[in-house]
Amino acid sequence: MIRAVGLTKSFGDFEAVKGIDLDVRRGEAFGFLGPNGAGKSSTMRMIAAVSPVSGGELSILGMDPAVDGPAIRGRLGVCPQEDTLDSELNVRDNLVVYARYFGISRSDSRARADELLEFVNLTEKARARVEDLSGGMKRRLTIARSLVSSPELLLLDEPTTGLDPQARHLLWDQLFRLKQQGVTLVITTHYMDEAEQLCDRLVVMDKGVIAAEGSPRDLIGRYSTREVAEVRFAVSGDDNPHQAYAEQLGDLGERVEVLPDRLLVYAEDGDTVLEAVHARGLRPVATLVRRSTLEDVFLRLTGRTLVD
């Protein structure tokens, strides 16, 4: 569906995307995981055939975006990071006018709008003004709008940023249903749980390059341990005492990461680590054992956390 080789994007002297290779297959849910400023949105805009490629090769649905932009866009659905809904129109009109852009007739546009409102649970809000919708409803409307043309490939740029947990789960459920219908999903996110929930395969992006690629489970297996013991010690003054504790605990796991407020000890068995911590006479104020996540993969690959 999407193939990129050495793809770059520059804005003046700034290189936002520094040569990435991609191969997205039909029917899969593919993710770009990375912090803000990693180059995810720039990549998405190139894939959406609205932003010219600066260098390298990009082919979408077998076509060149520089030549076949309108044809590519006709087969894509795009859910942009910022809502671009028309606040002067009501909910249903937003869908109807958008369907017209794809050359869908007036009566078919109306039927399609009603069908999609049903799909995203907004039928009751059909006549409401967009301004009066909650953030989650606007997001669902934007997703509904991206589906008016029955796209084969759906691009979702940070689909759940700013939503409350309930709204996120509702959206994930709808995206999952789309995937089951055979729609190829490309998602950018800086939420590791979103990437784990939705993506069959993903790339970890940082500072314009791809740091790693694989399924969420692969990546965790490759770059992290089964479990993580989180250990928090009392902080006094400006110094971070965790650095000193890290040296004392360094031998308890495969790896220790120091965060401003806690230590992460990577090991196969987190409880054993905690027992050893206590056995050494250390008294942490809080502890937690959990499974490794993509957040840990990101930390390992870049030395930083995803959400600053």
Partner 1 sequence: MSPLAPTGRLSTAAALSRLLPYWFTVTRRTWRGSVVSSFLTPVFYVVAMGVLLGGFIDGDPERLDGATSYLAFIVPGLVAAHAMQTAVADTSWPVFSNFKWNKVYDSMVATPITVRQVAIAHLSFVALRVAATCAVFDLVVAAFGVFETWWGPFVALAAQALTGAAFATLMYGFACRIDSDAAFGVVFRIGIFPLFLFSGAFFPVSNLGAVGERLAQLTPLWHGVNLSRMFSIDRIDWSLAALNLGVLLAVLVIGSRWAVSGLEKRLTT
The yes or no reply on residue 50 touching partner 1 (CB under 8 A) is yes
Q: Quick one: 127 or 283, whose CB is closer to partner 1?
A: 127
Which residue in the set 21, 28, 68, 115 belongs to the binding site for partner 1 (CB under 8 A)? 68
Give the C-alpha distances (Å, rounded to integers) separating 290 from 40, 125, 252, 270, 307: 28, 41, 16, 7, 19
The yes or no reply on residue 90 touching partner 1 (CB under 8 A) is yes
Burial class (CB in 10 A: 0-12, 13-18, 19+), 13: exposed
The yes or no reply on residue 144 touching partner 1 (CB under 8 A) is no
The yes or no reply on residue 305 touching partner 1 (CB under 8 A) is no
The yes or no reply on residue 52 touching partner 1 (CB under 8 A) is yes
- The interface with partner 1 within residues 3-22 (CB under 8 A) comprises 11
The yes or no reply on residue 88 touching partner 1 (CB under 8 A) is yes
- How many Cβ atoms are within 10 Å of 39's Cβ, its own excluded? 24
Alpha-carbon distance of 104 to 234, in angstroms, equals 63
Indicate the DSSP class of residue 90: B
Which residue in the set 24, 48, 116, 277 belongs to the binding site for partner 1 (CB under 8 A)? 48
Alpha-carbon distance of 289 to 208, in angstroms, equals 33
Alpha-carbon distance of 24 to 122, in angstroms, equals 31
Alpha-carbon distance of 56 to 50, in angstroms, equals 16
Which residue in the set 89, 235, 246, 258 belongs to the binding site for partner 1 (CB under 8 A)? 89
Which residue in the set 13, 70, 107, 234 belongs to the binding site for partner 1 (CB under 8 A)? 70
Which residue in the set 72, 116, 185, 256 belongs to the binding site for partner 1 (CB under 8 A)? 72
Q: Quick one: 146 or 287, whose CB is closer to partner 1?
A: 146
Angle of helix 91-101 relative to helix 135-146, nearest 10 degrees, comes to 20
The yes or no reply on residue 102 touching partner 1 (CB under 8 A) is yes
Q: Quick one: 161 or 305, whose CB is closer to partner 1?
A: 161
| Selection from 42, 62, 63, 60 nearest residue 51 by Cα | 42
Sign of the alpha-carbon dihedral angle for 102, 104, 110, 115:
negative
Query: CB of residue 115 vs partner 1: minimum separation in angstroms?
Result: 19
Q: Which stretch binds partner 1 (CB under 8 A): 26-34, 45-53, 110-118, 245-253?
A: 45-53
Query: CB of residue 44 vs partner 1: minimum separation in angstroms?
Result: 11
Alpha-carbon distance of 225 to 291, in angstroms, equals 8
Residues forming contacts to partner 1 in the complex (CB under 8 A) are: 11, 48, 50-52, 63, 67-74, 76, 78, 80, 82, 84-90, 93, 96-98, 100-103, 106, 145, 149
